[in-house]
Amino acid sequence: MRKLENFTYSRALVLGLAKSGTAAAKLLLQEGLEVRVNDKKADEGDEMVQELAAHGAEVIAGSHPLSVLDGIEVVVKNPGIPYTNPVVQEALLRKIPMITEIELAGQLAEGTIIGITGSNGKTTTTTLTVEMLRESNQPAKVAGNIGKVATEVAQTLSKQESLVLELSSFQLMGIDTFRPRVAVLLNIFEAHLDYHQTFENYKQAKFNLFRNQTKDDYLIYNADDPHLKEAVKLAASRTIPFSVQRKVEDGAWIEDGAVFFLGEKVMDLDEIVLVGDHQLENALAALAAAKLSGATNEGIRAVLTSFAGVKHRLQFVDKIHGRLFYNDSKATNILATQKALDSFQQPTILLAGGLDRGNEFTELGSYLSNVKAMVVFGETADKLKTAGEEAGVPVIENAGDVKKAAQIAYTLSEKNDVILLSPACASWDQYRTFEERGDMFIQAVHTLM
């Protein structure tokens, strides 16, 4: 097993368990540190709590007393715990260093690290990159926000393998020395403001991805995103743009019905089976990351001619009596839904709604021109109804949940219509995860059959 490098602490607090916290605690115990674990939602009788205690961890479950910080030299924070948490605030006052499990993974990994972030498209781009490398006989493993916990994978990574990480802003806020050889910035859009408080804080968290890079590293970025064009000017690494709108000879672009990278034609555009410009952006970003990590044109082509999307991300579900059903439950913000709507030219029935984070939905207005009906649900149902009415959507129905929304949408539809679940909201008002929400939609579609 690989050992942590340059980790000088001897007493650590792991704040919050779940998968990443549990993995971090086990790793630090293996490294011989004194480890204290604190989780407000855990119970002392939980199997994982008892296992960590048996391995020598001091476990404090069921509350967040400030005394958990006494004698602590570093805090490994679960990414989901906000910085408004009293223990986190106290740790900052005491000037105790605070990291996430991603920082530990970066110190463990021997192979090439490819880090991918953005407001939207992370999962698709990460999956594409891994598959392109594997199809090119370049060994690669995936971790981070998808797949296994990053530290677990990093411990087993060889020098010949690439570690492809999907990274959230929550994870990137907690890094110190983490440095991917290849960094990918897909886009930036106001999101998670309940966590970050301001758009500027959110952007700076995302930009941590390249802060430790050097001239020997690569930073792939969306040249069509004005926020990113400005941000990458500060990078020490070699910047590689991608664009679906114009030619960028020092990066990846589309021209004359073909896809190019650094002046070389990779494949014809009509061979790519993914739907929508935002999926083309993901494809170009993945192509660039894979090429810079040893992928071949043949391997890239094999993936892009067969990859139809990841589950819950503009996923084609079925065709029933001429109606096309798409599951885009992972669209948890307005930008994602804009991109989904922009992917279709035919009449569309939009299913949207979910957790109210204070957003208004007027920005959807110009994207609703081909929406013949909306079915809204969840906490934001009234706000979405207002946005639809202002945009002139002729029919707007209110449903109790996604299952009922699918049934209503079908009754409103005609042959060749698209029925699109793209909520523009997080799921937590009614569902534990966006996956649960998407699975309910898929089940409802199959019931309609």
Q: How far apart are CA 315 and CA 420, in angstroms?
A: 10
Position 4 in a domain: no
CB atoms within 10 A of CB 384: 28
pLDDT tens string 195-242? 777 888 899 999 999 999 999 999 999 999 999 998 999 999 999 999
Q: Where is the domain boundary, 99, 124, 147?
A: 99
Contact 36, 13 (CB under 8 A): yes
Instruction: Return the structure tokens found at 75.
Output: 């805090």
Do 47 and 108 share a domain, yes or no? Answer: no
Asked whether the predicted pLDDT for residue 48 surpasses 70, the reply is yes
Predicted local distance difference test score (pLDDT) of residue 1: 55
Do 212 and 342 share a domain, yes or no? Answer: no
Do 392 and 361 share a domain, yes or no? Answer: yes
Position 2 in a domain: no
Q: How far apart are CA 285 and CA 220, in angstroms?
A: 7
Do 180 and 284 share a domain, yes or no? Answer: yes
* DSSP type of residue 318: E
Q: What is the Cα 268 distance to its own chain's centre?
A: 28
Nearest CA to 404 out of 368, 351, 449 is that of 351
pLDDT tens string 17-36? 888 999 999 999 999 999 99
Q: Where is the domain boundary, 285, 304, 323?
A: 304
Q: Enumerate residues 6+ apart whose C-beta is below 8 A from 444.
A: 402, 403, 406, 407
| Number of domains comprising the chain | 3
Instruction: Return the structure tokens found at 393.
Output: 């959507």
Asked whether the predicted pLDDT for residue 347 surpasses 80, the reply is yes
Q: Where is the domain boundary, 49, 66, 99?
A: 99
Do 199 and 51 share a domain, yes or no? Answer: no
Domain containing residue 87: 11-99
- The residue ranking higher by pLDDT, 110 or 193, is 110
Position 309 in a domain: no
Do 299 and 393 share a domain, yes or no? Answer: no
| CATH code of 19's domain | 3.40.50.720
Do 326 and 395 share a domain, yes or no? Answer: yes
* Alpha-carbon distances, residue 116 vs 220, 282, 288, 384 (angstroms): 9, 11, 12, 31
Do 81 and 113 share a domain, yes or no? Answer: no
Average pLDDT value for residue range 310-326: 89
Q: What is the mean pLDDT of the chain?
A: 94
Provide Rg for the chain, Cα atoms: 23
Phi, psi (degrees; rounded to nearest 5) at 76: -105, 105
- The residue ranking higher by pLDDT, 103 or 41, is 103
β-partners of residue 60 are 38
| Report field, pTM of the whole predicted structure over 0.95 | no
DSSP line for 271-295 = G----SHHHHHHHHHHHHHHHHTT-
Do 209 and 116 share a domain, yes or no? Answer: yes
Q: How far apart are CA 155 and CA 250, in angstroms?
A: 35
Average pLDDT value for residue range 174-195: 89
- Secondary structure (3-state) at 86: helix
Phi, psi (degrees; rounded to nearest 5) at 122: -60, -50
| CATH code of 254's domain | 3.40.1190.10
Predicted local distance difference test score (pLDDT) of residue 352: 98
Do 373 and 235 share a domain, yes or no? Answer: no
Position 415 in a domain: yes
Predicted local distance difference test score (pLDDT) of residue 2: 66
Do 265 and 123 share a domain, yes or no? Answer: yes
**Predicted confidence band of residue 80 (pLDDT cuts 50, 70, 90):** confident
Do 120 and 250 share a domain, yes or no? Answer: yes
